[in-house]
Amino acid sequence: MKAIIAATILGIIMMFAGIMAKEKKPLATLATILLFILLGVNIWDLTNTSSLAPQSLFNNMLRIDRYALWFNTLMTGCTLLYVLLIGKEIQKVGAHVAEYFALIFFILCGVYLLSCYNNMLILFIGIEIMSIPQYILAGSDKRNLKSSEASLKYFLMGAFSTGILLMGITLLYGATGSFNIISFSFLQADHLNTLALAGILFIMIALSFKVSAAPMHMWTPDVYDGSPTAFTAYMATVVKAAAFFAFLRLFQVSFGSLSSQWTLVLAIITAATLLVGNLTAVFQQSVKRMLAYSSIAQAGFMLFAILAVNAVAWQGIIIYSVAYSIATIGIFTVLMKLKDYTYDGFNGLAKKEPLLAFVTTIFLFSLAGIPLTGGFMAKYYVLQALIQQGHLLWLVIFGLLMAAISVYYYFRVIIAMYFKEGNAELHSPVTATDKFMLVFTCLLVILIGLFPQLLLGNI
Amino acid sequence: MILVLLILVPLITGIFSFLTKGDGAKGLALISSIITMAISAFVSAGNFSAPMHFITPWIPNLGTQFSLLADGMSSMLCLLTGIVVQVVMTVSWNKPVEKAGAFYGLMLLSQAGLMGVFLANDALVFYVFWELALIPVYFLCSTWGGEKRIAATFKFFIYTFVGSLMMLAGLIYLSMQNPGANSYSWSNIMHAGSSLPASQQAWVFWLIFIAFAIKMPIFPFHTWQPDTYEQSPTPVTIILSALMVKMGMFATLRWLIPILPQGVAFWSQTIIILSIIGIVYASCLAIVQTDIKRMIAYSSIAHMGLMSAAVFANTNMGMHGVMVQMFNHGITITGLWLVVSMVENRWGTRDMTKLGGMATSAPLMAICLVIISLASIGLPLTNGFIGEFMLFNGLFQTNSYYHITFMVVAGLGIILGAVYTLNMLQKTVYGETVKMKITKDLGSNEYLGLAIIIILIVFLGVYPKPLLDLTSGIATALVP
């Protein structure tokens, strides 16, 4: 598990580079190079672990399997894509560019811990390592009151949910006498005590908070809206995906045999998330806020994978994470080019920048789940997982109805770009590099839609 | 391989069309449509010996292959698509279009989608093309349509999207029944579906049928249709009404009737009743319309209602009639829309009350309109007659206590059909000449396009045997 160590060291290098270099641009270039190195380390990890059998590390604190390594690699890839697309905007946020990039490395370290923890304490530490840099990033636009508010709100709510998580872990420890998540799987439904049940419920609530599932979603729109857009793009994608992976890992590996106990609660949470996310997104006027609610709505679909408790669910969460991350990062990239974040700001974009409008359309198709885009395959896998589970068909139908609602607000952007008169004002000119990167991202989305098996590698 | 060409030719030329400037797109589209028509004619002709297959792996771990099959019904509908698109391209040759590259590109892409739907022999491939046919049409309507186009097409899109998603859930459910390397292949889905217990078939039926019902559309899922037809530019209306509604009918015959036989049996009475309500309701509404386009839109609901009633009557004659009628209705309604668009171009209105005297001002066009309208009513010796005759015959033979009632009420639809169609003829072709200024009669390309339609109408009216032979095997396979 060299990637965890590498992420930390590279993060520190990045931090010290801030002292050496005064210019912003070389720092961004350095961050890109370091991310390439990190990606390389991840791939090294992946090729080294050729055996399919999971292996334990650090006194059984971590348990490496191929799902985890593969997920890490993909998420590092997404981060790299994020930095390539949005790196320029990160430089504009404030003066401390080196720190922003360093914090992203630390977040990645948290992501790696979350994907392969085998001990509840590592889960806790991973979530903290991942969250604390985010609190800072949310508040990095210091002179903006909304940014500070977002940071404070995120921090307070985050601290609150961490408390609940700790309580849950404690209760489970009381019930089983162990922190090891594999040992929880010996919990059986027929001799289950209240302690363990309460612990599971607490952990479910805390993790629902991290993935912004309703009714623990209240912080999401404000934080996403208030934070600098460059960082919202990251929070809404890779970070969220990692939280989902941790969620899935715990509930499938440890609590899978108890699924009859918690399925109904989680199903209701899922239904509420889909309902709240989609219905509220319809009424937004700002595209940035709409994307925040849409990320809640998409979380509803990702929860399908956790409810399913089967092998397809792993594939589902991996494909969903990547497809959703790529499309969302793409849309945020376009959004940041615009002056006005409302729907009206997109009016007439197709005439002014046809390429920008076209790639945005593909990203929106992906989020809406139109075939031949990654988003369709993602939805397909989680639906398949839940249908295979067999007991929650009502939720499948409900989710599909909600997906139809989501078309409404995603297509409003398309309607604004193509069919409305207007002069979409751009913040900064679209350079050839931008165009190249956006087209590349767009091709990735279509490639995943055509051949989703590429994303699953050999797991 | 030749089947892939049916999809690839319009797809590739469609993409290239986006890059062309000026008149290039028009020529490219015409050439592409002629090539596609030729290939589809070849496929149909070859069908008399053996149906063509094409299979290549696509996503193995989902159990789906890229598998195409052109049996009688598929190749007939591909031929219809080929002919209709070609006629549309011919007739709109000298009509200037804004952003021609995008317009023709999207038309060709939707053609590629339609071909895929008709050829797919794998449920997931079918679903993908089902959606892909929709997207270009959405953009076509929203960009080049009438005043209220954005709201109308948005409604249309969301309606059909809801249906498609339900169908997706249904198809996943069926493929899950017997997972394996090609669990989505038609034969696998068919085995999975028909071996489900009746109670399950009854609800899976609705998951899948709702998509088709919206597309056809049958009452009460039809509300998107008149607005969308009215607001779309005529070439797109033709794609929608001549081809896309056939997707719903075709899909019912291919992906519903054989797959969930007990579910179909359970609900057939209900669907027939809904269809017949739709026939009478739409016919009554058609009578009071003054806008010709809206009138034809409602008449299309009535015609599709009769077809869906005959499908669910579950008789060999009815099934066979539906297949023949799909082709005939496609041809006839294309002709009607073409004349309507010519009228609109020349006189600037579609309002019947403001039209009149076409017989003197544009006699050729008037003759065409009369022949096409008579075919639409189903007069003997036109193509409409044979199909409608078989539909009624099939409906009459249905194994239901109420079969005579069904017959009588549906027959009412034919009478009402004559009422509104002849009324339209009277007001536009005859009537006072003063209202219509004398302008140019048919242009040569318009003449050519309408000639193809009229030749087909008369030929298939007098000698429908090729069409009947092409589809009889499929009808027998569905209901012996």
Q: Do B131 and A387 touch (CB under 8 A)?
A: no
Q: For residue B49, what pLDDT band results from cuts at 50, 70 and 90?
A: low
Residues on chain B touching A396 (C-beta within 8 angstroms):
169
Q: Do B142 and A419 touch (CB under 8 A)?
A: yes
CB–CB of B154 and A401 under 8 A?
Answer: no
CB contact under 8 A, A415 and B165: no
What's the average model confidence in pLDDT over B188-212? 88
pLDDT of residue B91: 86
Q: With CB atoms and an 8 Å threshold, state whether A418 touches B127.
A: no
Task: Check CB contact under 8 Å for A387 and B59.
Answer: no
Low-confidence ranges of chain A (pLDDT < 50): none
Best to test chain B binding among A397, A419, A454 (most B CBs inside 10 Å): A419
Q: Which residue is listed with tokens 């009402």?
A: B416
What's the gap in Å between the CA of A260 and the closest CA on chain B?
22
pLDDT for B334: 92
Predicted local confidence at residue B435, as pLDDT: 58
- Considering only CB atoms, B165 lies closest to which of A393, A404, A451, namely A404
| Chain B residues touching A408 at Cβ < 8 A | 154, 158
pLDDT of residue B128: 92
**Cβ pair A452:B62 closer than 8 A:** yes
CA distances from B362 to B267, B428, B443 (A): 49, 11, 11
Query: Is A160 within 8 Å of chain B by CB?
Result: no
Give pLDDT, residue A239: 92
How many angstroms separate the CA of residue A272 from the nearest CA in chain B?
20
Asked if the model's pLDDT at residue B480 lies above 70, the reply is: yes
Q: Determine, for residues B150 and A388 on separate chains, whether the beta-carbon distance falls below 8 Å.
A: no
Q: Domain locations in chain B?
A: 1-216+226-249, 260-480
Say what the pLDDT of residue A190 is.
61
Asked if the Cβ–Cβ distance from B169 to A400 is below 8 Å, we say yes
Domain range enclosing A277: 2-456
Q: Which residues of chain B lie closer than 8 angstroms to A383, CB-CB?
A: 168-169, 172
Which residues in chain A are closer than 8 Å to B62, comparing Cβ atoms? 380, 384, 452
Cβ partners under 8 Å of residue A146, min gap 6: A225, A226
pLDDT at residue number A350: 85
Scan residues 254-313 of A and list those with Cβ closer than 8 Å to B: none
- With CB atoms and an 8 Å threshold, state whether B172 touches A380: yes
> Residue B318: pLDDT above 70?
yes
Chain A nearest-CA residue for B125: A371
pLDDT bucket at B388, cuts 50 / 70 / 90: confident
Is the CB of B161 less than 8 angstroms away from the CB of A400? no
Q: Which two structure tokens, joined as six digits, stand for A47?
A: 């090729």
pLDDT in tens, B113-160: 999 999 998 999 999 999 888 899 988 888 888 788 888 888 888 888
Structure tokens at A123: 């889960």
Closest chain A residue by Cα to residue B60: A453
For testing contact with chain A, the best of B168, B174, B199, B200 (most A CBs within 10 A): B168
Q: Give me the residues of A, 350-389, that contact B with CB < 8 A.
A: 365, 369-372, 380, 383-384, 387-388
Whole-number Cα distances in Å, A312 to A378, A387, A453: 11, 10, 12
CB pairs < 8 Å spanning A and B: 65
B143–A418 C-beta distance less than 8 A: yes
End-to-end CA distance of chain A: 18
Phi-psi region of A58 (alpha: psi -120 to 50; beta: other; left: phi over 0): left
Residue type at position A356: L
8 Å CB contact of A419 and B158: no
Q: Which residues in chain A are closer than 8 Å to B158, comparing Cβ atoms?
A: 404, 407-408
pLDDT single digits (tens) B419-434: 999 988 888 888 776 5
Of residues B60 and B294, more confidence is placed in B294
pLDDT of residue A325: 93
- Tally the domains of chain A: 1
- B410: which 2 tokens? 């549906």
Q: Which chain B residues touch A452 with a CB distance below 8 Å?
A: 59, 62
For residue A63, what is the enclosing H or E element? strand A62-64
Q: Determine how many CB atoms are found less than 10 A away from the CB of residue A219.
A: 19
| B60, B135, B162 ranked by CB distance to A370: nearest | B135
pLDDT of residue A216: 87
pLDDT in tens, B11-26: 999 888 888 877 788 8
Cβ separation A400–B162 shorter than 8 A:
yes
Say what the ipTM of the complex is.
0.89
Q: Which residue of B has its CA nearest to A399?
A: B165
